[in-house]
Chain A
Amino acid sequence: MSIQKLPRRISKEASPPGTFPEPEREPLGPPASGRAKGTRAFTDPPVRARVRLRVWRYGRALLSLVVGIGVWQGVSIFLPSDVASPIEVVRVLIQDLKDGVLLTNTLYSLTRVLVGFFSGLALAVPSAFILRSARWLRDIVDPWIQFARMIPPIALIPLVIVFFGIGELAKISVIFFAVYFIGMVTVYQGIRMIEVVQINAARVLGADGMRLFRKVILPASLPAILTAARLGIATGWTTLVASELIAASHGLGFMITQAGQYFDLPTIYLGIMVIGIIGLALDRVILRLERRLVAWADVVDDQGQTAVMTSLQRR
């Protein structure tokens, strides 16, 4: 008997009618997604077609940017008292870069968000596993989690100021709170979905205890952990900036508030742009990591688990 020919990667969702039919393009990142390292593809479309596809994609994105900035420029001419023009923003950008204000504020914000993010996620993952393993604990804790989930972290700021003052700890604890809850709930939901059959398969092969956890449960949970990381960094970043708006003497949020007091429009716009761009960059970093570490998972895999999609772009 012979090996069946591998099917070309078949997309599981058909494209909806009326949309531009987009051929399979790196659904999970770099070309070597369908197989483990070290093997050659025979399922990839010809290189030239892929390059053309990519140029076309980036071309459209670039066009959209150029048009967007053009519109912005146009609007700023008609509404000069409300909208700073892109040119002015660039001027402020150069100036703030020169005197280091922008860098300092960015570093403050980034440090806070990363400390809060890593500590929140580091605690969220074990919490999710513990909750998964103990039903009685789940019953006790669940109402509190559901309750805490509904509190926007920003609403805690006044309270946090009472407890921790307005120092670094205050801001970091707000981010920690935000990341911890969304992270724990996401990881918990993810590990609840781990297929029993995979665990059974490991058990009949002789895996148990720690080995079962390390070799099967942990890798099976990795997609959920990375999804949690992505949601966590987004929540953490937006929460941070909001908390800096209220109580801070450094940071991007603070930069905007201060500029608002002086009615310094270009700086307000610059702050908003930088916040958006850094948020985007943080998301991309985790997305990269996700593609690298869980390239084995289909976006919609055999078990019908659907990855959380936060982007319009198919991944």
Chain B
Amino acid sequence: MAMSESSQENRTASHDGPRGRTDHHAAPGTISIQDVSLAYRGVAGSLQVQVLRDISLEVASGEFVCVVGASGCGKTSLLNCIAGLLKPSMGSIYVGGELVEGPARDRGVVFQQYALFPWLSAIRNVEFALEMRGMERKDRREAAIEYLRLVDMERSADVLPKALSGGMKQRVALARAYAAEPQVLLMDEPFGALDAQTRRRLQIDLLGTWERKPRTVFFITHDVEEAVLLGGRVIVMKASPGEVVSEVEVGLGTKRDSHTLDLPAFAEYKAVVARSLAAAEISTEAGR
């Protein structure tokens, strides 16, 4: 798999603090989750609800990892921890060797609820990301068009989000995430709200985009087929508390497209992941 840009390497090496904020050996685009636990404070601060327990995961630079798990098992919570939107109760997360301490541009997020700014047209949404990156106003539009082209949305550049379909909104959201030029892309069930046909087309197009612009992708879904089609590796989670129960290496190569769906091996991997997921659910039941 292709590496993401290597220009960020210097940045990684320069800030090593006394408390192990950086890891000299980590390449940009890696995600390292170390013993992360998360508890939400319950009602009136009394009861602690353990949502994640001792999650440890390593994601290599340029890898496409999918996380599957039943709804409510803590996938979004985990992703928000990586994004820096939530702080783990215990453990730490490093992205590109740097400790995650809050949200930052090096981790792009595509949310399940279309999180476009409704007052900005498609292209202005993308330009927002460019502006935050510090790009000059005069260069933004041209650059934004390129990002829209990446997701095949350049023809709807001046359309407001409310006039875009769900699939188109997610394309723009993806273009906006790419425009920030993050080291890693975090995607939280981005196609979960779409109809089956649109979802399939966006999956195939995402594979194409990823091939042209390789990035580390951390992709959450509850759809086994989606996970196997997209992921080089599928991580299976169980609920209450959220834990990683197994990992499946999907040996379907890195070049995927709609034909991947027809491979006999595809069905096999799907069955393996589905079994693992079913086992996870049984262990959740048993744990109750």
Contacts and interface: CB of A to CB of B under 8 A. Distances in A.
B111 A197 contact: yes
Contact of A297 (B103, B162, B167): B162
Given A36-B159, A200-B85, A200-B109, A219 B119 contact: yes
A206 B132 contact: yes
B162 A301 contact: yes
Contacts of B124: 36
A279 to B, nearest CB: 29
Interface string B152-163: 110110111111
B168 A204 contact: no
Contact of A39 (B113, B159, B201): B159
Given A43-B163, A200-B111, A204-B85, A297 B118 contact: yes
Contacts of B120: 296
A298 B119 contact: no
Nearest to A207: B132
A79 to B, nearest CB: 52
Nearest to B205: A1
Interface string A289-301: 0000011111001
B53 interface: no
A216 B117 contact: yes
Interface in A1-32: 1-4, 6-7, 9
Contacts of A37: 158
A157 interface: no
Nearest to A36: B121
A197 B113 contact: yes
Nearest to B169: A302
B114 A302 contact: yes
Interface residues of A, number: 38
B176 interface: yes
Contacts of B113: 195, 197, 302
Contact of B118 (A2, A43, A204, A296): A296
Contacts of A301: 118, 162
A38 interface: yes
Contact of B103 (A43, A204, A215): A204
B283 interface: no
B158 A205 contact: no
A220 B115 CA distance: 12
B160 A296 contact: yes
A200 B158 contact: no
Contact of A205 (B114, B118, B129): B129
B163 A6 contact: yes
Q: Which 7 A-B pairs rank lowest in CB-CB distance, beginning with the nearest?
A: A201-B115, A206-B132, A36-B121, A206-B105, A34-B163, A39-B158, A203-B103
Interface of A: 1-4, 6-7, 9, 34-39, 43, 195, 197-198, 200-207, 211, 215-216, 219-220, 222, 294-298, 301-302
